Structure 1
Amino acid sequence: MTLLSYCTNVHPAEDLAGILDQLDTYAVPVREELGVDRLGIGLWLAAEVASGLAEDRSARLRLAEELRTRGLVVQTMNAFPYQGFHDDVVKHKVYVPQWTDVRRLRYTLDCITVLADLLPEDAEYGSISTLPLAWREPWSSSHDLRSGIALDEVTRVLRTALARHEQPIRLAVEPEPGCVLDTVADAVGWLADRVEPEHIGLCLDTCHLAVSFADPVEAVDQIYRSGLRVVKVQASAALHVAEPGTQEARAALARFAEPRYLHQVRELTPSGAVLAADDLPEALETLPAQGPWRVHFHVPLHADPEPPLTSTTEVLTSAVSALRAHEPDGLPHIEVETYTWNVLPRGSRRWRPEDLVTGIADELRWARTSLADQEVYQ
C-alpha cells in the first residue's frame, strides 16, 4: 500500500514545541479537510531537534504518541536541509554540511534513530531522503572517498537497525541540478558500485528531474537497470516556459526571482544541448533564451502558473507510471514537497500562499487523483 504524504519542511519551526504547534495549525486541519482518519507527513526535523530526540527514547515515544493522537503518520523523513531552511537567505547553505562532514553523518544517523520509533506497525519500510553529496564545487577524489566512507557507516547502522526491527529503513539520495550528483544519470553512476541497494537508493524529485530535461521513463529505467531502486518520490513540479525570450515571459519569470532559495535554470537549445545557470536572476542575464527553460521552483501541483508559464506535472505523472512497471507490488513512498508557498509571487489568482491548509489539501487531492491508479491512503 502506497503512503501519500506532504513534507513538513514547508513549516519553519525548529524546536519540538513549535513543530507540534505547526502540526496542530496546519497538518491536523489538512487531515480534517480531506476527511481522512490518517494523514501522511514527511517529517523534517532540524539537526538540533533530531539530536535531542535521538538521545532520549522516552521523548521519541512521546512524539510517536503525539502524532498518533493527531492522526498523523510518519513513514518518511526529509533529512536534506540541516537547519535554517526558512532563513531570510538560504541559497547554497541548504547543501551544508556536505557528506564529507561528520555533522551530516551524525544528523542522518539521528534521523534513523528517530524514524525507527515513529514508524507505524503497518509500514513496510521507512525512508529518509538526503542531499546528493554536496554542491558541485569544490569537489575532488578525496571528497568522493570520504563520502563513500560515510555512506558505508550509514549502511552498517541500517543493517543493525534492521536486525532490531522488522521494518527496514532506507536512505534515499536525491539528485539536484548544480550538485555533485546533478542528474539521475550522475547519481546512478556514482551509487551503483558503492552502495548496497537494500539499504541505499534514490529519491526521485520530479521537479529536479524535469529541470534536467531528462526523459522520465528512461531515467526510471536506468535506475532499475543499474540494480538500484527508487526508495522515495518527491512529487513536485518545476516552472516551464516555452519561449523565455519574450517580454511577457521574462516579466513573468522575474516575479519568481526571490532571495531565499536557489532556483537553478536549464535551457534546452535547438541542438539538444542543455545550458545551465545556477539561479534565476543569473539566467535572465546570461542564458540566450533560444529554447525552452525549466526553473527549479517547486510550484503547487494542482494549478498551473499564470501564462505564459506552465508547470511540469506531466514529468511527475510519467515517472510514477514508469515506476509501476518496476514496482508491481506497490509504489515507493510519495511525498508532496512544495516548500515554496511562502515565497510564491503575491497576488496570484491561482495560488493563495496565505491559505496554506487549503493549498496543501488541494495538492494532496490532485496527487491522489492523478497518481493513484492503485490504492493510496492518507
Structure 2
Amino acid sequence: MRLRHRDGTLVHLSYCTNVHAAEDLEGILAQLDTFAVPVRERLNADVLGLGLWLAAPVAGHLARDAAARHVLRRALTERGLEVVTLNGFPYAAFQSPVVKYDVYRPDWTDRRRLSYTLDLARVLVSLLPDDAAHGSISTLPLAWRTPWTVQRADAARRNLDALATELARLERPVRVALEPEPGCVVETTTQAAALLSGVDTERVGVCVDLAHLAVAWEQPVDALARLANAGLPIVKTQVSAALESADPHADAEALGRYVEPRFLHQTRGRAGLSTDDLDEAFEALETGSAPQPWRVHYHVPLHAEPEPPLRSTVDFLGTALEALLSDRARCDHLDVETYTWHVLPEGHRPDTDARLAEGIAAELAYAREALKAIGLKEE
C-alpha cells in the first residue's frame, strides 16, 4: 500500500512473503493468487506491496533470465501488486522444519552472500514500479556473533565494499540494509554505529526491525538518534512486535507454549538475561536467574495480543513509528514481517490458506491505521 507523508514522501507499506514456503518461480506465482490477491481485496487497496522473499536458487534464475523476470513483473502488475523491497536475510529453506542457526549462513564473510544479494538487486531493478524512488534489500547484520575474528571482519568489509561498487552500476538505485538482530555481530544500534562506520551510505544502511529493537531493550528515540549521529540511513523498517512477559516465573506455562523447533527465539531480560533461545531462558530461570521481565524474539501478529498474562511489544511499535515518521519521513519502506504464523501456539495459528490471508490483512490494516494516526494519508 502507498501512503503520503505530509513532507511529500511516498511511503510504501508491504508484507513480507518469507511466511510462505515457495522457493521456485512457479510457487511464487501461485502464492500471489493464494495469499497476496486475497489480502489486497480484504484491504480494499488498489495496490498491495509485497516484501518479496526470493531464495537463492530462484534469485539466481531470475537474475540470469530476463524473460522470467518479465513474467514475474507482469504477474504482479496484473494482480495489483508491487515490489519495492526484497527480504535477502534468509538464503534458502526458511520454512524448513528446523531453521535455527542456519538462517545466518552464508554470512557476509562468504562470497555466496555477496552473489545472492547482487542477484536480488538485479531482479529488483526489473520489478520496481516506474515511480519508485529506489529499491531496498534487507540482509543479515554481518554474521552470527561467533566465531568473529579480525580476519572475518575484514572479509565482510571487503564484500560490503564490492557490493557498493556493483550497486552503483545498476540502472535504478537499490540500497541494501543490514538488519541488527539479537545474537548477531550487530545486535544493537550502538554496535551498528561502531561496526558499520565507513560503509558507502549512499548504497548501504540499516534495516530497523522493531521487534529486534524492543528485544534489545533499546529506546526508539535514542536508537534512531544514534543511527543518525553515525550517518547511517534507515533504508527499511520491519514493522513487527515481539513477545513480552512481565513475570517469567508466573508466566512459565504460557511462555512454554511458544517453545518450538523451527526458529531461534533469542530472549533478553531487562536486568541482563541473554540467551539464544527461549528454552535456554527457561534453563536460566530454573538455575536461579534474577527476576526480571523478558522480551522474546518471537514475531507475534500486530493486531492480536497473546493470551494474558503475556503481551506483545505493540505499544513499543507505536512509539517507534512515531519517532520514525512524526516530524519527517526517516524511512519510506515499511514491511510487516510476521513469519511465525505457522509455529504460533495451537489455537492461534491459521489452519487454512484463507485464514492466513485474513491474518496478514488484519496486520496490514493495523499498521496502516497506526501510520494514519501519525498523519500519513493513504494514496
Band the TM-score falls in, shorter-chain normalisation: over 0.9
- 1:53 equivalent to 2:62? Answer yes
Q: TM-score, normalised to structure 1's length?
A: 0.94
Correspondence 1:225 to 2:229: yes
CA contact (8 A) 2:235 2:331 kept: no
**Which of 153, 165, 179 is 1:156 aligned to?**
165
Q: Which residue of 2 aligns with 1:290?
A: 291
Q: How many residues align?
A: 364
Indicate how the Cα distance of structure 1 residues 209 and 216 shifts in structure 2: closer, same or farther if over 3 A, else same. Answer: same
- Cα distance, 1:31 vs structure 2: 0.4
2:190 to 185, 194, 212: 185
Corresponding residue of 1:366: 366
- 8 Å Cα contact 1:2-1:377 kept in structure 2: no
1:311 and 2:289 matched: no
Rounded to whole Å, the distance in 2 between the matches of 1:353 and 1:79 is 27
Please state how far the C-alpha of 1:234 moved relative to its aligned partner. Answer: 0.2
Q: Is the 8 A contact 1:324 1:330 kept in 2?
A: yes
| Alpha carbons 2:138, 2:236 under 8 Å: kept | yes
Match of 1:66 in 2: 75
- Given that residues 234 and 330 in structure 2 are in contact (C-alpha distance below 8 angstroms), is that contact kept between their aligned partners in structure 1? no
Q: What are the equivalent positions in structure 2 for 1:323-334 lying under 5 Å apart? A: 323-324=324-325, 328-329=328-329, 331-334=331-334
What letter is aligned with 1:130? T
Counterpart of 1:347 in structure 2 is 347
Deviation at 1:324, TM superposition (A): 2.4
| TM-score, with length taken from structure 2 | 0.93
Q: Which residue of the other structure, out of 270, 274, 279, is the alignment partner of 2:277?
A: 279
Residues 359 and 376 (structure 1), Cα distance of their counterparts in 2 relative to 1, 3 Å cut: farther
Structure 2's unaligned 5+ residue stretches are 1-9
Q: Alpha-carbon deviation of 1:216?
A: 1.1
Counterparts of 2:25 and 2:66, CA distance in 1: 14
Mapped to 2, the partners of 1:284 and 1:100 lie a distance apart of 33
CA shift, 1:37, in A, is: 1.3
**Partner residue of 1:120 out of 98, 121, 129:** 129
Show the counterpart of 2:5.
Answer: none
The DSSP-based 3-state class of the residue aligned with 2:370 is helix
Shift of the alpha carbon at 1:377? 4.6
Q: Is the 8 A contact 2:234 2:331 kept in 1?
A: no
Note if 1:336 corresponds to 2:336.
Answer: yes
Partners of 1:2 and 1:330 within 8 A in 2: no
Paired residues of 1:77 and 1:111 also in contact (CA < 8 A): yes
Q: Distance in 2 between matches of 1:171 and 1:52?
A: 20
Deviating beyond 4 angstroms after TM superposition, the runs of 4 or more aligned structure 1 residues are: none
Counting only pairs closer than 5 Å after superposition, residues 11-22 of structure 1 correspond to structure 2 as 11-22=20-31
Q: CA RMSD in A?
A: 1.4
Q: Provide, for residues 168-217 of structure 1, a one-character-per-residue CA deviation record: whole Å limited to 9, x for no partner.
A: 2100000000011111211121112x212111110000111000011111
Aligned with 2:178 (options 173, 195, 203): 173
Same amino acid, percent of matched pairs: 52
Q: 1:258 is matched with which residue?
A: 260
Match of 1:235 among 234, 239, 249: 239
CA contact 1:341–1:353 (8 Å) conserved in 2: no
Is 2:33 the counterpart of 1:24? yes
Q: Which residue of 2 aligns with 1:210?
A: 214
Q: Is the 8 A contact 2:342 2:350 kept in 1?
A: no
- Check whether the contact 1:243–1:289 (CA below 8 A) recurs between aligned residues: no
The separation in 2 between residues aligned to 1:376 and 1:200, in whole angstroms, is: 28
Do the aligned partners of 2:139 and 2:177 also contact (CA within 8 Å) in 1? yes
2:97 aligned partner: 88
Cα 1:242–1:353 shift into 2, 3 Å: farther
CA separation in 2, counterparts of 1:330 and 1:83? 31
2-structure distance, mates of 1:376, 1:25: 28
- Quote how far apart the aligned CAs of 1:268 are: 1.2
Structure 1 unaligned regions, length at least 5? none
- The alpha carbon displacement at 1:88 in A equals 0.5
Deviation of 1:2 after TM superposition, in Å, equals: 0.5
**Contact residue 243 and residue 290 of structure 1 kept, 8 A:** yes
**Equivalent AA in structure 2 for residue 252 of structure 1:** A
Deviations 1:249-304 (A, max 9, x none): 000000000000000000112xxxx2201100110111425010000000000011
Letter in 2 for 1:196: D
Deviates most, 339-348 or 111-120 = 339-348
Amino acid corresponding to residue 204 of structure 2 in structure 1: I
| Matching residue's letter, 2:264 | L
Partner Cα separation in structure 2 for residue 82 and residue 6 of structure 1? 18
CA drift at 1:376: 5.3
Letter in 1 for 2:178: V
